[in-house]
Amino acid sequence: MKYILSIAFFCIVFQGASQNYFDIANLTYIDTPANNFKVSNDQTAVNELNLEVNFPVVLSKKTILLTGLFANKTRVSLDANVSNSNLQVLGFNLGINKTFNDKWSATFMVYPKISSDNLALSSDNLQLGFLSLFIKKKRTNLKYKYGVFVNTEEFGLAVIPIFGLYYLSPNKKFETKLTLPFLADINYELNKKFWLGFRFDGIGTSYNLNNQNYSNNGAYVSKNSIEFAPYLRFKMSKSLYLNTKLGYAFGRNYKVFDADDKIDLAVTSFYFGDNRTRLNEGFSDGAIFKIELFYRLHFD
């Protein structure tokens, strides 16, 4: 089994720590054509809405308080011939970015969230994530990132080592952002209003199911997808940007398991003690369309 955890809700924190801008708000809509179930003669679309808002507070020249909110709603049919489920996430992030010297800085964050088909505050719906990320400035236009992310997923504890880099060409037209194994973003500035780019996202998360008929013990969903998408970026005003993406999702699945069917440990893409039994039917990979509106604060 493949495990890739999405850090869409905290990549913005990485940006503020290693680049000359910080994304204050981001609104994304995702849609797919009808996807065929692999066995049954049925289809499902996947519709997703994602919102992120971040509130950085400068405490001193070397210390920034990082706070924010994130929410997500995914509408999808988890099985053939059943009604759609609304998988939802609501949470906040709280942490600090600390500059130690001219070469090193670090970000430490905590991410409590509710992840379920019913946004009720309960221990079954609650997940807790922790991030520790160190950034080394090799040159003004080249920075490396090393860290680890830990999250209490529905299936068990997930530990994800992180490696990344940020590079900006001398003419400031070519930009590379890597935060592996989660994302890669490469873009080129065509002119002051338009950019052409390519984006990879490793998406994975889990949701507790309150409204389900799979098991008397309860059940949860484990979501995974690997997405590749070229995109066009439009500058609408000094700080407002629009991305339009058309790509393809590989290995896409929403696997349902019994609530007691868990693993021992997940480390990146390796699952230890994974003897789970899937309870639902999968559907095929397919095209994806994304439109993203974001507000970016520039420091230079």
Please tell me the predicted confidence (pLDDT) of residue 19. Answer: 62
- Cβ neighbors of 8 (< 8 A, separation 6 or more) are 50, 52, 183, 201, 203
d(CA 71, CA 84): 19
Distances in Å between the Cα of 154 and the Cα atoms of 107, 158, 218 are 26, 10, 11
Q: What predicted TM-score, i.e. pTM, was given to this entire model? A: 0.90
Whether 209 and 229 have beta carbons less than 8 Å apart is answered as no
Please tell me the predicted confidence (pLDDT) of residue 7. Answer: 36
The conformation of residue 215, written as its DSSP 8-state character, comes to -
Whether 16 and 97 have beta carbons less than 8 Å apart is answered as yes
> Which residues make beta-bridge pairs with 232?
196, 244
Please tell me the predicted confidence (pLDDT) of residue 56. Answer: 86
Please tell me the predicted confidence (pLDDT) of residue 300. Answer: 64
> Which residues make beta-bridge pairs with 293?
27, 242
Please tell me the predicted confidence (pLDDT) of residue 5. Answer: 32
**Residue 261 three-state SS:** coil
Please tell me the predicted confidence (pLDDT) of residue 22. Answer: 81
Please tell me the predicted confidence (pLDDT) of residue 236. Answer: 96
**Token pair 């809405």: residue:** 49
Which domains does the chain possess? 11-298 (2.40.160)
Q: Which residues of the chain are under the pLDDT cut of 70?
A: 1-19, 300
The dihedrals phi and psi of 11, each to the nearest 5 degrees, come to: -65, -30
- Tens-digit pLDDT profile for residues 4-34: 233 333 443 444 445 677 889 999 999 998 9
**Token pair 């236009």: residue:** 141
Please tell me the predicted confidence (pLDDT) of residue 18. Answer: 52
